[in-house]
Amino acid sequence: MARVALVTGGTRGIGKAISARLKADGFKVAANYAGNSEAADATAKELGISVYKWDVGDAAQCAEGIAKVTADLGPVDVLVNNAGITKDGLFHKMAQEKWDEVIRVDLSSLFYMTRPVIEGMRERGYGRIVNITSINGQKGQVGQVNYSAAKAGMIGFTKALAQECASKGVTVNAVAPGYIDTDMVAAVPEDVLKKIIAGIPVGRLGKAEEIAHAVSFLASDNAGFMTGATLTMNGAQYIAG
């Protein structure tokens, strides 16, 4: 029986590439999305996957959404916590709303999404949790105190939960992309982005498909001995110890 993979933010950007990769790997794929129904419908058609709309920063919506995915496809074997937002700005000018919103969507969502699936994974003795963090959770980034804090929090979550689940066949890992060619990165002011790319030794932005290949490995049966890890993929922009 094909395993079930649920990818949050799985209809655009890195998430779409992950959905495509996991579908090609033979998973039954459910992709969650928050708002852009047009893109979601197009992705559903293009990839032949199921898409579900809910806000990953809302506990009740997550519980309801996961119940629907489970009823439609079966229990979730692989959860990719990919959905995320930025609300950049210098901290000394940052409104609390920008802090609250990024922590809610990027970090609290890990609780809301993972808590409803973890007991089933433990009982079945199999599960794969993959959290998409960021280079900026590892090194910090000017203009992203909120995002850097949330993304660093995801790494702590990954390390702690990995230890709790290690004996139950459930692995928990993180992937830390650098600057990838997506809408999110395209929103960075052009002059700032130019400087950022100049600081990437590989000399270019990363591709969403490159990140998806790493997730594909972590989601596979072959990755059973890898847990608690953070896979850094950033073109050597920042080499985490």
- Cα→Cα distances 176→30, 33, 55, 115, Å: 22, 21, 22, 22
- Residue number, 52 or 99, with CB nearest to ligand CAA: 99
Min dist. Cβ of residue 211 to ligand CAA (A): 11
3-state secondary structure of 30: strand
Confirm or reject binding of residue 75 to ligand CAA (CB under 6 A). Answer: no
Whether residue 6 contacts residue 66, with contact meaning beta carbons closer than 8 Å, is answered with: yes
- Name the segment binding ligand CAA (CB under 6 A); options: 27-35, 128-136, 152-160, 224-232: 128-136
- Residue number, 164 or 183, with CB nearest to ligand CAA: 183
Nearest to 49, CA basis, from 31, 22, 71, 75: 31
- Name the segment binding ligand CAA (CB under 6 A); options: 28-36, 140-148, 206-214, 219-227: 140-148
Confirm or reject binding of residue 214 to ligand CAA (CB under 6 A). Answer: no
Confirm or reject binding of residue 135 to ligand CAA (CB under 6 A). Answer: yes
Confirm or reject binding of residue 141 to ligand CAA (CB under 6 A). Answer: yes
Q: Which residues have CB under 8 Å from 115's CB, separation 6+?
A: none
Q: Is 147 considered catalytic here?
A: yes
Residue nearest to ligand CAA (CB): 143
Q: CA 8 to CA 3: how far, in whole Å?
A: 16
- Name the segment binding ligand CAA (CB under 6 A); options: 96-104, 156-164, 180-188, 199-207: 180-188
Confirm or reject binding of residue 233 to ligand CAA (CB under 6 A). Answer: no
Confirm or reject binding of residue 158 to ligand CAA (CB under 6 A). Answer: no
Structure tokens at 166: 């290690």
- Name the segment binding ligand CAA (CB under 6 A); options: 12-20, 99-107, 134-142, 159-167: 134-142
Q: CA 150 to CA 99: how far, in whole Å?
A: 9
Min dist. Cβ of residue 181 to ligand CAA (A): 11
Nearest to 13, CA basis, from 50, 40, 53: 40
Q: CA 133 to CA 183: how far, in whole Å?
A: 17
Task: Give the active site residues.
Answer: 147
